[in-house]
Structure 1
Amino acid sequence: MQHHDQDTSRRDWLKTVALGGAATLAAPIVQAAPAQPAPAARRIPIAISTYSYWHFQEKKYPIDKVIEDAARQGFDGVEILHRQMENETLPYMNKLKRLAFDNGLALPLLSIHQSFVQPKPEDRKKDIEHTLKCINLATQMGIPAIRMNTGSWRTVKRDANYYKDGKEPPIQGYTDQDAIKWCIESMQECLVAAEKAGVVLAIENHWGLSSNIDYLLEIYKPLASSPAMGMNVDTGNFVGDPYPQFERLAPHATIVQAKTYYGGGHYYDLDLDYKRIAGILRKVNFNGYVSLEMEGKEDPATAVPKSLQILREALS
């Protein structure tokens, strides 16, 4: 009898211990979780445009030298100006692509020149063909975006006055609304090929028709539903106060070109507040490339490193 009682009490004891253990496990752990470090702010990648070393002088500055220099200085990529390419042969394009890869650099943008503000359909067709050819060049070099222009009437001289107000009357017999329509139709045609190639066509506020931000948005918005449509916002190409206009375009930006003017600009001078510009970009969660276009007369050997430092400090 005694033996049976011992068994029962042992069983009860084990049950109590087991239940107590379960209760302990179920009890909330009061110990504070270690504080998580705040996520580091993402570093915006900065590229350099090959144009920074060559402002359309007679002798072209070699793109391969820009790539090597960009790697030495700590840039993240190189934007290629199409007119600066020595040629369009496969060996040349593959050499640039390989050189960038070996140096750990991206080639984010191919900047081309074209205009759809041309009354004759055959003239617009020529520039559509040019764009299609450039889509193929970009594809070959592994470049995901192309800089596009609206184009301009070319009815006024590009002097200091023009860069102050950007005003350009249409060719007689036509209106700005005609030009907007030509731009939309021509871009639509180019976008068909761009979508197939997986290349973004980034339209820029690049004087001409696009000096008027309302016009630029009027062209961009009907095309924005295309996965290949983008916008390249240039900090230096605004008429009047740049910041409110930059704020309007920033939400649509796929890439940003940042101008500096050391030694005085070739066309005009601006003193841009990059801390303020960076703040606008942060507000819209811009994470893409910012590409430096040094447009001053100072030697790029000194002006480019200074420009990079300004952009790094503002964008970090």
Structure 2
Amino acid sequence: MNLRKTDRRAFFRIAVASLPLAAITEQPLLAAATTGTGKAKNLKLSCNLYSFNEPLMSGQMTLEQVLTFCAELGFDAVDPTAYYFPNYPALPEDNYVYQIKRKAFRLGLDISGTGVRNDFTLPDPGRRKAEVALVNKWTDLAARLGAPVLRVFAGIGKELPANYNREEVTGWVVDAIRECTAYAAQKGIMIVVQNHADFIQTADHVLDIVRRVNSDWLAVNLDIGSFKLGDPYEQIARVAPYAATWQLKENLFVDGREVETDLNKIMQIVRNSGYRGYLPIETLGKGDPREKVPVFYEKVKKALAAIG
């Protein structure tokens, strides 16, 4: 069948319209639950700038200097967390935001995302409302910066608030994230919830939240180093179809024991999930990131090339 472009569009509209409603609605609204096989050429390496947390927070390096370092190393993108901008949690001046945006562009770097530190598990409704306002404020910033996703937490504590059960607290989290995604949709920004070994400790925890929010504007920031219970590879594979960005780390936890990440296995999971997009890396622990980041970057590049 040789369809012109306009004919093909009409064909697909008719084909979709003819599908049973159940065939559409039974799927999660989250379009990021991808199918198919991703290819290495569809994957790009980004640097989560938490890797440079110590020099950034101490003033040893500026954000502009870190961007230059990442560009010279060969990264496709960077992911600068909100607290590396002046006056966080208040928003920085627009001229500073646009200066960083211009700097990244001139260096050939994309902005793959940014993120905030929030807590939707607070018992006080007023404080939860303030956390939603924080996320919405930085959603505006993400749009001005050109970041397609904003990373958020469900809650930053491992323990449940006194006198509340997990189901109740999950309800608060779902309601808060639903508000955030509704606002983010108006700005063209995706909210990505990060599993961070806090309120979210397992694949079941994160998938429960994603499915209950049920928004095309919510996906997962898949942090491979933060599944600390059971088999992390099995949990990563389950969550991978819902990921819109990642955090690749040097180590992960197998049955609670910290071991070096099998990057070849991780890349196979990425490929099998059909993921396409940025793969941010993040180095942790002691040591100069100007030495650690290049080493891990080369290891990830090698593993990425192996699935090509």
Which of 179, 184, 199 is the matching residue for 1:209?
199
In structure 2, the partner of 1:28 is none
In structure 2, the partner of 1:90 is 94
Q: Percent identity?
A: 27
Q: How far has the Cα of 1:41 moved from its partner? A: 4.8
1:180 aligns with 2:173: no
In structure 1, the partner of 2:106 is 102
Q: How far has the Cα of 1:260 moved from its partner? A: 2.3
1:287 aligns with 2:276: yes
In structure 2, the partner of 1:12 is none
CA contact (8 A) 1:43 1:315 kept: no
Q: Distance in 1 between matches of 2:136 and 2:273?
A: 31
Q: 1:294 to 1:177 in 2, by over 3 A?
A: same
Q: How far has the Cα of 1:90 moved from its partner? A: 0.8
Q: How far has the Cα of 1:298 moved from its partner? A: 1.6
Q: Distance in 1 between matches of 2:152 and 2:55?
A: 18
CA contact (8 A) 2:56 2:84 kept: no
The one-letter amino acid paired with 1:292 is I
Q: Distance in 2 between matches of 1:259 and 1:253?
A: 16
The one-letter amino acid paired with 1:95 is Q
CA contact (8 A) 1:110 1:146 kept: yes
Which of 210, 214, 225 is the matching residue for 1:220?
210
- 1:167-188 per-position Cα deviation (integer Å, ceiling 9, x unaligned): x442221011111100110011
In structure 1, the partner of 2:248 is 258
- 1:290-309 per-position Cα deviation (integer Å, ceiling 9, x unaligned): 10111131211111111110
In structure 1, the partner of 2:33 is none
- 1:207-233 per-position Cα deviation (integer Å, ceiling 9, x unaligned): 221113212111111223x23111110
CA contact (8 A) 2:203 2:236 kept: no
CA contact (8 A) 2:47 2:79 kept: yes
Q: Distance in 1 between matches of 2:260 and 2:72?
A: 27
CA contact (8 A) 2:56 2:62 kept: no
The structure carrying a bigger strand percent of its residues is 2
1:138 aligns with 2:142: yes
In structure 2, the partner of 1:16 is none
1:80 aligns with 2:80: yes
Normalising by structure 1, we get a TM-score of 0.77
Q: Distance in 1 between matches of 2:278 and 2:75?
A: 11
CA contact (8 A) 1:176 1:209 kept: no
In structure 2, the partner of 1:54 is 53
- Over aligned residues, Cα RMSD in angstroms? 1.8
Q: Distance in 2 between matches of 1:128 and 1:314?
A: 38
Normalising by structure 2, we get a TM-score of 0.79
- 1:156-199 per-position Cα deviation (integer Å, ceiling 9, x unaligned): xxxxxxxxxxxx44222101111110011001111111000000
CA contact (8 A) 1:260 1:296 kept: no
The one-letter amino acid paired with 2:81 is L
The one-letter amino acid paired with 1:50 is L
Residue 209 of structure 1 aligns to a residue whose secondary structure is coil
In structure 2, the partner of 1:264 is none
The one-letter amino acid paired with 2:221 is N
CA contact (8 A) 1:53 1:300 kept: yes
In structure 2, the partner of 1:242 is 232
Equivalences, count? 256
Q: Distance in 2 between matches of 1:173 and 1:134?
A: 32
Q: Distance in 1 between matches of 2:202 and 2:165?
A: 14
The one-letter amino acid paired with 2:136 is L
Q: Distance in 2 between matches of 1:55 and 1:80?
A: 14
CA contact (8 A) 1:275 1:314 kept: yes
In structure 1, the partner of 2:14 is none
1:196 aligns with 2:186: yes
Q: How far has the Cα of 1:58 moved from its partner? A: 5.1
The one-letter amino acid paired with 1:83 is Y
Max radius of gyration: which structure?
A: 1
In structure 2, the partner of 1:147 is 151
User: Relative CO higher for 1 or 2, CA cutoff 8 Å, sep ≥ 6?
Assistant: 2
Q: Distance in 1 between matches of 2:264 and 2:278?
A: 16
